Chains A and B, each alone.
Chain A
């Protein structure tokens, strides 16, 4: 595994409501360059807070966070966010802007010339497998959920970031779309050499997409490692999380013929 981590959390803590709600409690976590990390946890586990600390949508109370070797406190938050791609839950597209304008927003903020943005938008629509001529000028409400999320991914990639953060990106999609989108993104992650951190509450999805998985509960990082490493963890909650995909896999393989048409 490559040497310096691209994102590193060191003893990070964050509370809300004047200290009454502990969202993130003493978390230390490193994400290596080129790695695909999934953070798994239930609602209220602090996973979303942890993700947002990385691009300073939320500021940490204690500890330090470095991105590409730099302490985020020393980077202007606006510039930091422009160089990190962010995919929002169910897209987070601007409803009054066309697909092309949504995708091109970060380059536009960076002052890229319009012609260049236009070319980049076409390239990105190809990348996320959306027919450019057909979708460029549509408004978000004219798209299906899966198409919206593809646009969301294209927007995150527009300014050629090295890091992409994803907040439950495929959560609201039907299983087929979800599967296709997951595979497509995994492929983009590999070909573009991205470093990806994805939040999910679905352990199956995490196992299928990520290199490594971090498990959070009550603001604490319970365990981290490859799926194989996790299965050796002695933690009861982690084992419980892993039991579901395992049982599903067993039942599916029992019910479906092994060499079927799947």
Chain B
């Protein structure tokens, strides 16, 4: 199949109004807010060297924080603020999605605007400033009729840089719950759907270029005092915003929102739940690529309605428990703890997606390694790789304590690449996921956890507080509970890891339903 006739292009195009609309809204709002704050600050600081140095220093520091981290930082910050505002003023706000994204991106846009505005204003010749004073201008008149117009080209260059940065960085707002063109990229990376990745990058680039050119048009209009050109540029940006608002206005507000974390299994399961809801005539959309901590808070705050989490993850991360319980006991206690937050644990799907130490079957057999205890004896000469969070998770500490594990080296890796790395011998062991289809594909084996150091990780379906008594929703999702065993999920995940159109989350979800729906 040629690249151009790939049906995934059409699928990507279907998402465009939603993703692009959200992307434009969040970028334009952030840029507007950034300008609203930076321009007055820059003007205020032009005769105040200390303030100026402080502002530029602060903005530079913000710039050195990676975009993804900056966005992620705003989420807990706003959560705390929302809780504070709720207890002080009696109203809260959603710390999810739009707000943290706008604030972080606005902060990001400040440096080029501040720096160029200050530079532009300082570049105005002293003789010209004197002349402005001499003909009888007030400081304000001097600023607006002389200084700002003369600084305009430099200022606009900064604004254009900021616009391009914001539009580019907005793709990173997907994990904190803001739908954007980044959804293509995150989903594409997780499900190895390169068409999506490419589509997302292209769309973001085209949007950035378009906005840059519209701003250039406004600049040239202002510079040559052409109302027509400036108006055309302004109208272009207004039209862009209006066009992206249209689909949102028309969409109904009673949608069910199904959440998904940032890996392929989650994309498949959220697609499966969305299909079930739609089959029951319940309007549903997905919110994909959410960070592991973000998604739970989003559910608790009713920003999403339903998603699948794993018992061990909630136990250790959300409730900070370090003690171990047998599987059923842990589930029961979890259910009680969740109920205290008005979150419903609807039930288990039937499989576990636990961390497990994984190595190639042949190598394990050669070395006679069957359990983690066997591995511990040889670990000193071996290296291990895990995903970005594994080595800071309590499971890792528990494993090391229970088995006295000590490896020669450890590395962090993108989960999708881990399995290939261990199969090729680049690392000796990985901390993989039990439900991952790649275990079978690469002929790997999971090592027995005979001392039960790793807690159970049953996949469980959670409902938001406001959906606790939603019978229609429960009924639509009930057929999935207890139906998906580990072999089925592994196969589904393996399919999703493919690189063709049959591997899209929707297609795999359909396949999964055909397998489990008949049971």
- Where the two chains meet, the residues of A that have a C-beta atom closer than 8 Å to any C-beta of B are 55, 57, 78-82, 86, 88-90, 92-96, 105-106, 109-110, 155
Considering the complex, give the chain A residue whose CB is closest to the CB of B141: A109
Q: How far, in angstroms, from A95 to B123 measured CA to CA in the complex?
A: 13
**6 closest cross-chain pairs (CB), A and B:** A82-B136, A92-B131, A81-B136, A86-B134, A96-B149, A106-B135
B127 near A89: Cβ-Cβ < 8 Å: yes
A88 near B138: Cβ-Cβ < 8 Å: no
Q: Determine the chain B residues whose CB is within 8 A of the CB of A95 once the complex forms.
A: 128, 150
26 A–B pairs (Cβ distance < 8 Å), ordered by A? A57-B130, A57-B133, A57-B134, A78-B137, A78-B138, A79-B136, A81-B133, A86-B135, A88-B130, A88-B131, A88-B134, A90-B127, A92-B127, A92-B131, A92-B134, A93-B131, A94-B128, A94-B146, A95-B150, A96-B150, A105-B135, A106-B135, A109-B136, A109-B137, A109-B141, A110-B136
Q: Determine the chain A residues whose CB is within 8 A of the CB of B131 once the complex forms.
A: 88, 92-94
A92 near B137: Cβ-Cβ < 8 Å: no
Query: Closest CB of chain B to A48's CB: distance in Å?
Result: 11
A81 near B134: Cβ-Cβ < 8 Å: yes
Q: How far, in angstroms, from A89 to B125 measured CA to CA in the complex?
A: 13
Query: Closest CB of chain B to A199's CB: distance in Å?
Result: 14
B240 within 8 A of A: no
Of the candidates A55, A82, A94, the one whose C-beta lies within 8 Å of that of B132 is A94
Query: Closest CB of chain A to B92's CB: distance in Å?
Result: 49
Of the candidates B127, B130, B135, B150, the one whose C-beta lies within 8 Å of that of A109 is B135
Query: Closest CB of chain B to A45's CB: distance in Å?
Result: 19
Q: Determine the chain A residues whose CB is within 8 A of the CB of B146 once the complex forms.
A: 94, 96
Query: Closest CB of chain B to A197's CB: distance in Å?
Result: 14
Q: Determine the chain A residues whose CB is within 8 A of the CB of B149 once the complex forms.
A: 96
**Contact flags B110-133 to A (C-beta < 8 A → 1, else 0):** 000000000000000001101111
A78 near B150: Cβ-Cβ < 8 Å: no
Q: Determine the chain B residues whose CB is within 8 A of the CB of A105 once the complex forms.
A: 135, 137, 145
Considering the complex, give the chain B residue whose CB is closest to the CB of A92: B131
Q: Determine the chain B residues whose CB is within 8 A of the CB of A96 once the complex forms.
A: 146, 149-150
B128 near A92: Cβ-Cβ < 8 Å: yes
Considering the complex, give the chain B residue whose CB is closest to the CB of A158: B135
A81 near B135: Cβ-Cβ < 8 Å: yes
A55 near B138: Cβ-Cβ < 8 Å: no
Query: Closest CB of chain B to A260's CB: distance in Å?
Result: 40
Query: Closest CB of chain A to B417's CB: distance in Å?
Result: 56
**Contact flags B347-365 to A (C-beta < 8 A → 1, else 0):** 0000000000000000000
B132 near A78: Cβ-Cβ < 8 Å: no
Q: Determine the chain A residues whose CB is within 8 A of the CB of B132 once the complex forms.
A: 94
Query: Closest CB of chain A to B88's CB: distance in Å?
Result: 46
Q: Determine the chain B residues whose CB is within 8 A of the CB of A155 once the complex forms.
A: 135
Considering the complex, give the chain B residue whose CB is closest to the CB of A155: B135
Of the candidates A78, A88, A90, A94, the one whose C-beta lies within 8 Å of that of B136 is A78
Q: How far, in angstroms, from A82 to B138 measured CA to CA in the complex?
A: 11
**Contact flags B66-93 to A (C-beta < 8 A → 1, else 0):** 0000000000000000000000000000
Q: Determine the chain A residues whose CB is within 8 A of the CB of B127 once the complex forms.
A: 88-90, 92
Q: How far, in angstroms, from A232 to B484 measured CA to CA in the complex?
A: 116
Query: Closest CB of chain B to A104's CB: distance in Å?
Result: 10
Q: Determine the chain A residues whose CB is within 8 A of the CB of B128 once the complex forms.
A: 92, 94-95
Query: Closest CB of chain A to B136's CB: distance in Å?
Result: 3
Query: Closest CB of chain A to B435's CB: distance in Å?
Result: 66
Query: Closest CB of chain B to A132's CB: distance in Å?
Result: 20
Q: How far, in angstroms, from A88 to B132 measured CA to CA in the complex?
A: 11
Q: How far, in angstroms, from A164 to B405 measured CA to CA in the complex?
A: 91
Q: How far, in angstroms, from A125 to B146 measured CA to CA in the complex?
A: 22
Query: Closest CB of chain B to A211's CB: distance in Å?
Result: 24
Q: How far, in angstroms, from A53 to B310 measured CA to CA in the complex?
A: 79
Considering the complex, give the chain B residue whose CB is closest to the CB of A94: B146
Q: How far, in angstroms, from A57 to B132 measured CA to CA in the complex?
A: 11
Q: Determine the chain B residues whose CB is within 8 A of the CB of A92 once the complex forms.
A: 127-128, 130-131, 134
Give the residues from 250 to 294 in chain B that come closer than 8 angstroms, CB to CB, to chain A: none
Q: Determine the chain B residues whose CB is within 8 A of the CB of A110 once the complex forms.
A: 136
Q: Determine the chain A residues whose CB is within 8 A of the CB of B134 once the complex forms.
A: 55, 57, 81, 86, 88, 92
Q: How far, in angstroms, from A79 to B141 measured CA to CA in the complex?
A: 13
Q: How far, in angstroms, from A82 to B136 measured CA to CA in the complex?
A: 5
Given contacts A90-B127, A94-B128, A95-B150, 12 further A-B contacts (CB under 8 A): A57-B133, A57-B134, A79-B136, A92-B128, A92-B130, A92-B131, A94-B132, A94-B150, A95-B128, A105-B137, A105-B145, A109-B136
**Contact flags B439-467 to A (C-beta < 8 A → 1, else 0):** 00000000000000000000000000000
Considering the complex, give the chain B residue whose CB is closest to the CB of A108: B145
Q: How far, in angstroms, from A155 to B132 measured CA to CA in the complex?
A: 12
Query: Closest CB of chain B to A16's CB: distance in Å?
Result: 15
Q: How far, in angstroms, from A229 to B135 measured CA to CA in the complex?
A: 35
Q: How far, in angstroms, from A155 to B137 measured CA to CA in the complex?
A: 14
Q: Determine the chain A residues whose CB is within 8 A of the CB of B135 once the complex forms.
A: 81-82, 86, 105-106, 109, 155
Q: How far, in angstroms, from A88 to B381 measured CA to CA in the complex?
A: 82
Considering the complex, give the chain A residue whose CB is closest to the CB of B223: A96
Considering the complex, give the chain A residue whose CB is closest to the CB of B138: A78
Max chain A CB contacts within 10 Å: which of B130, B131, B132, B149? B131
Q: How far, in angstroms, from A57 to B129 measured CA to CA in the complex?
A: 11
Query: Closest CB of chain A to B130's CB: distance in Å?
Result: 7
B136 near A106: Cβ-Cβ < 8 Å: yes
Give the residues from 148 to 204 in chain B that come closer than 8 angstroms, CB to CB, to chain A: 149-150
Q: How far, in angstroms, from A90 to B128 measured CA to CA in the complex?
A: 11
Q: How far, in angstroms, from A92 to B125 measured CA to CA in the complex?
A: 10
Query: Closest CB of chain A to B119's CB: distance in Å?
Result: 17
**Contact flags B461-492 to A (C-beta < 8 A → 1, else 0):** 00000000000000000000000000000000
Q: How far, in angstroms, from A260 to B133 measured CA to CA in the complex?
A: 47
Considering the complex, give the chain B residue whose CB is closest to the CB of A89: B127
Q: How far, in angstroms, from A155 to B141 measured CA to CA in the complex?
A: 17
